[in-house]
Structure 1
């Protein structure tokens, strides 16, 4: 049986990256950030295919505009999903039947003590699913589980790795830096980090049969705390959303529906030009 692997790559959790100038298009250090992100993605692709040569590998560019990885520099054995908006956002590719998911370059949730910590967008202060606070790691892990896929690896700073381990006990973590603040870290050299990613991706593939998709409740109650009252004003215009102050709530019949609504909220309530 051919293993289908989805590698979702964010940027804030890449080794060496600590500041929005490195993650934001048109900022002075963004091109360096793109190169570091692409190299990290390649390390994981190599680890997967070196271990399982027949694996089908999809790489989902999952940061900001979803147009960061340099297509011409990505390992040619992988297919690249890029651009937004798109169905399933950071996990686009699950629709193609991916059974194994890896999170690369992920960050901790909003309010956590982690490098460039946030949840989906600056306009969002917190997301709670059935009362439990989740960042992108938790939201995406639940989405993968609802689609029958197992998340087997996560890399990022120490806070992101701890967040993942709390959700997926036994999942492989690759901490590539230790957070010293929102814009500061003690980081591995990128080449050292990529060596560890390559080795860990191979290990995750060898052990993937030990993992099962996380269980997802049948009924989902979602609460989203927003940064600005105006954002809540806009969100309240969406049918099915209720508002109390800066918190908006809705129910969803499954994680796919919940995820789509969260993507819409993030786009609708975007802070900035």
Structure 2
């Protein structure tokens, strides 16, 4: 059984502030340890369920957050950037299931460190007219590849978002949002035990293999900056809905890969910190 773990950072046990998750932040190094240990709990759960291959993709920010020397020795690590498929680099139909660790809710929600890919630069996103953030877009792309998402950890807002998107996914809330930078935290040992158990259980009862999809989807993104939207119109297939909103259609994962180009263009134009 081949398992893919996508690891973000905002939904990791104990982390609530930009200083916890951004390089140079006063608590970032501690945040890296917390992230690594949440992922290790997931790896243990996967091995308990019978996984023979566990691949971990460091999917947050610089994508060099996880501590390789502290990562479970059974896991292979995909690290660094750029990656053509970003948060899903290396995922393909040979994997039996995907696990999402440390995820957060989309922009505009009152979740811990909530945003959609780019801090406040992306105001809203829709996939086939459905509001979407990292959780939904990642889930939809994995499904198109034929890989079911079986488990997610994060705050309660992220868990609620995943449940609304796909109620079959097992969710573990490791903290409960009081505001965007404040939360009621689960005890660390309790949270990691819950992650390990949920991964093992969800993989033991995972759904049957999925058939990859060639469905044509439409992605709409509303940016904070009209300059970003205008520049993206230079990409073939991208059209304007209004001065700050662009859209494109295509099959997943191609549309997901193209969106990665959009974010790189936006980063080059704005140089804005993720959390403002």
> Where do 1:158-197 residues align within 5 Å?
158-197=156-195
Residue deviations 1:172-195, cap 9 Å, x none? 110111111110100112222111
Aligned to 2:137: 139
Say if 2:122 and 2:221, in contact at 8 Å, map to a contact too.
Answer: yes
**1:112 matched residue in structure 2:** 109
Matched-pair contact (CA < 8 Å) for 1:144–1:213: no
Q: Which residue of 2 aligns with 1:272?
A: 271
Whether the 8 Å contact between 1:40 and 1:197 is mirrored in structure 2 is yes
Q: Give the corresponding residue for 1:91.
A: 88
TM-score by length of 2: 0.93
User: 1:264, CA displacement in angstroms?
Assistant: 1.0
Cα shift readout 1:66-112 (whole Å, capped 9, x = no counterpart): 11000010001010011112132111231372120000000001111
Aligned-partner Cα distance in 1 for 2:176–2:197: 20
Question: Shift in Å at residue 211 of structure 1?
Answer: 5.4
The answer to whether 1:129 aligns with 2:127 is yes
Q: Are residues 1:225 and 2:232 paired?
A: no
Partners of 2:57 and 2:87 within 8 A in 1: yes
Instruction: Note if contact 2:145-2:213 (Cα within 8 Å) is conserved in structure 1.
Output: no
The alpha-carbon distance between structure 1 residues 147 and 4, as it changes in their structure 2 partners (threshold 3 A), is same
Give the ranges of 4+ consecutive aligned residues of structure 1 lying more than 4 Å apart after TM superposition: 211-217
Structure 1: unaligned runs, 5 residues or longer:
none
User: How big is the shift at 1:217?
Assistant: 7.1
2:100 to 94, 100, 103: 103
Q: CA deviation at 1:219?
A: 1.9
Give the CA deviation at 1:17: 0.5
- Equivalent residue number for residue 198 of structure 1: 196
Structure 1 residue 55 displacement after superposition: 2.0
Q: Do structure 1's residue 5 and structure 2's residue 3 form an aligned pair?
A: yes
Residue 78 (structure 1) aligns with: 75
Determine the C-alpha separation between the residues in 1 that align with 2:81 and 2:189: 30
Q: Give yes or no for contact 1:142–1:214 (8 Å, CA) kept in 2.
A: no
Distance, in Å, in 2 between the alignment partners of 1:202 and 1:196 is: 10
Which one of the candidate residues 41, 45, 59 is aligned to 2:56?
59
Distance in 1, Cα, partners of 2:211 & 2:108: 24
How many residues matched? 268
3-state DSSP of counterpart to 1:161: helix
Q: TM-score with structure 1 length normalisation?
A: 0.93
